Structure formats: C-alpha cells, structure tokens
Amino acid sequence: MAKQKMTLGDIMSRVPTVDLARIDATTEADVARQMREEGYDPDEALRDEDIISPSVIRKRLGMSQARFARAIHVPLVTLRSWEQGKTLMDPSARALMTILAREPQAALRALTEGQAA
C-alpha cells in the first residue's frame, strides 16, 4: 500500500507529540550521558572555532533550536540561518556566543532575569 502524501493543512492540524515536561526535567547529567552516547565528550575543552558556533553551543546546552532562540532573544529563523551558514553573525552575536560558550549558566541566567517563568 502506497503512502498518501500529506497536505500542509493535514500537517498543521496534527497535535504535536513533544513532551515539554520531560524536556524541562532533563538534567545536566542526562545531557552529558546523551552526549557520550552520541560520541561526544561533554568534558572536552571548547576549541576556538566552537566558541562562535551556535549549533555546538546549543547542543552542549541540550536545547532545541526553538528553546535556544527564545533564550538568546533572536528569531528562530535567524538562529537557523546562522547554523546553516546562510548568514553570518554580527559582532554582538559572536560576542554573545563567546560568553555562552565560556559561561553558559551565568549567561542564560542573565538573559532570563526578570522574565516571567
């Protein structure tokens, strides 16, 4: 039996199956374990070329693109363009990536301070 193609309307009407509570309950230990399972060393020192790579930083933080974009206050399409190499980050965005790479928890705390939970 051949698969029937879905229309955009079909796709848009589907209920997402993402378990946000499970994502929010993910601990640093869970992220480190997942990194090891995927062949990454969570304790590996950052290389200079990684510091401004938003995809590397985002993956090290265990965040989806949407969550990371919200956290750093940029549109999702902008983050995707950076990660796909379609557009270059401006100097302020590169500086933010450097701070996130070196002091991720402090940076995220500062970025979310004063926001409603």
Q: Where are the domains of the chain?
A: 29-38+47-117
Q: Tokens standing for 92?
A: 């302020």
pLDDT at residue 93 tops 90: yes
The model's pLDDT over 49-87, given as tens digits with 9 standing for 90+, comes to: 666 789 989 998 999 999 999 999 999 999 999 999 899
* CATH architecture of residue range(s) 29-38+47-117: Orthogonal Bundle (1.10)
Q: What is the DSSP letter of 88?
A: P
pLDDT at residue 116 tops 70: no
CA distance 101 to 103: 6
CA distance 56 to 6: 33
pTM for the complete prediction?
0.56
CA distance 61 to 100: 9
pLDDT at residue 117 tops 60: no
